[in-house]
Amino acid sequence: MRKETIRIKCPKRVQFGDPMYFEDYKDDPEKLQKLVVDYRPQPGFKAGVSLVETEHPEYPGFIARTMTVYFAPEQHLPIYMDEKMYASQKTERKKIGVDTACYLIEVDGRYEDIKTGGDGYWGDYQELYREINGKKYIDAVVISIAMPDEQSFEEMKHLAEYFFEDMSREMVTEKAGRKKEQERS
Model confidence at 36, pLDDT cuts 50, 70, 90, reads: very high
Confidence of residue 9 (pLDDT cuts 50, 70, 90): very high
Distance from chain centroid for Cα 181: 30
At 72, which amino acid appears? A
Whole-model pTM: value is 0.88
Q: Are strands 45-55 and 2-8 parallel, antiparallel or unpaired?
A: antiparallel
DSSP state, 11?
A: P
**Distance (Å, whole) CA 57 – CA 63:** 10
- Alpha carbons 129 and 138: distance in angstroms, whole number: 4
Q: How far apart are the first and last CA of the chain?
A: 28
In contact, 24 and 124? CB cutoff 8 Å: no
Label the pairing between strands 63-73 and 45-55.
antiparallel
Q: What is the pLDDT of residues 106-118, one digit of tens each?
A: 999 999 999 999 9
In angstroms, the CA 88 to CA 86 distance is: 5
Length of the chain: 185
Among 20-34, 52-66, 157-171, the range of highest mean pLDDT: 20-34
How confident is the model over 113-158, as pLDDT tens digits?
A: 999 999 999 999 999 999 999 999 999 999 999 999 999 999 999 9
Angle ∠(77,78,81) on CA atoms, nearest 5: 85
What's the CA gap between 67 and 62, in Å, rounded? 17
What is the residue extent of each domain of the chain? Answer: 2-184
CA distance 74 to 64: 29
